[in-house]
Amino acid sequence: MGPRSDLLYPLDEFYELAGIPLPVVISVPGPDVPAPYRELLAHDRDMTPTLEEAYGQRIELRVLNHSLGENLLSRQIVLALEGDGRAVAYGAIKIYLEHFPPKARALVLEMKMPLGTILRTEGIEHNSRPAGYFRVQADRAIGDALQIPRGALLYGRQNVLSDTAHHTLARVLEIMTP
C-alpha cells in the first residue's frame, strides 16, 4: 500500500511544504497495535504524561518546523527525554489558540514546553480522543528525527484534544520510537 495522506494529518502538510514524498503508512485497529507500542498509543490520555510515566523522566520539546496563522500554530516536533535528549516521539500538531486562556496561549507560543505539560500545569481540563492508529515505515525525515534507520517499522496515532466545551484544542499525529 502506498502513502495515505489522511493517516498522516497534520504531518502531511510539512512533507508537502518540504516537497518530499510521504512514507508508506497503513491503518491498524487499536487492538492490533503490538506491544509495547499499544501501551504508549492505545489510550485516551495525553502523550507527554504517558511518556514521562513510561520512561520515568520528564519530556522536553524540540520544534523542527512551525508556522503561525491567525489563531493556529502548526508544529513538526520531536519529544525527547530531558537530560539525555533521546528522541521518544515524532510528529506534528495543530494547536487552535483561540480556545486557550491568555497565559497558556503565551506558553504555547513560546514553543518551549510540550502541549501536554502546558495543559497539566495550567489546569486546563480536556479530553484526549484517539482518531486512528497506523503503522509507518521510517523514511529519511522520521529516521533523522528519531535517530533510527530508514525502513524501521513504527506505530503511531492521530489524536484530538478537546476542552470541556467540546472545542478542539489540538489535532496531533504521534509516532513512537521502537
Q: Which pairing describes strands 153-163 and 72-81: parallel, antiparallel, or unpaired?
A: unpaired
Number of domains in the chain: 1
Identify the band that residue 52 occupies on the pLDDT scale cut at 50, 70 and 90: very high
Least confident among 3-12, 47-56, 115-124: 3-12
CA distance linking residue 159 with residue 146, whole number of Å: 20
Q: Can you list the pairs that 61-70 forms with residues at least 24 positions away whose Cβ atoms lie under 8 Å?
A: 61/111, 61/112, 61/113, 61/114, 62/87, 63/111, 64/145, 65/14, 65/17, 66/111, 68/109
C-alpha cell at 121: 500545569
Residue 145 contacts residue 64 (beta carbons within 8 Å): yes
Identify the band that residue 1 occupies on the pLDDT scale cut at 50, 70 and 90: very low
pLDDT at 4: 52
Identify the band that residue 178 occupies on the pLDDT scale cut at 50, 70 and 90: confident
DSSP per-residue letters across 92-144: EEEEEGGGS-HHHHHHHHHT-S-HHHHHHHTT--EEEEEEEEEEEE--HHHHH
Question: Percentage of the chain surpassing pLDDT 70?
Answer: 97
Which domain covers residue 14, as residue numbers?
5-147+154-176
User: Is residue 41 pLDDT above 60, yes or no?
Assistant: yes
CA distance linking residue 47 with residue 41, whole number of Å: 8
CATH number at residue 9: 3.40.1410.10
User: Is residue 3 pLDDT above 50, yes or no?
Assistant: no
Beta bridge partners of 145: none
pTM of the model: 0.93
In whole angstroms, what separates CA 69 from the centre of its chain? 19
Q: Which amino acid is at 76?
A: Q
CA distance linking residue 89 with residue 52, whole number of Å: 12
* Complete edge-to-edge strand list for the sheet that includes strand 153-163: 25-28, 126-137, 153-163, 168-176, 87-96, 72-81, 59-69
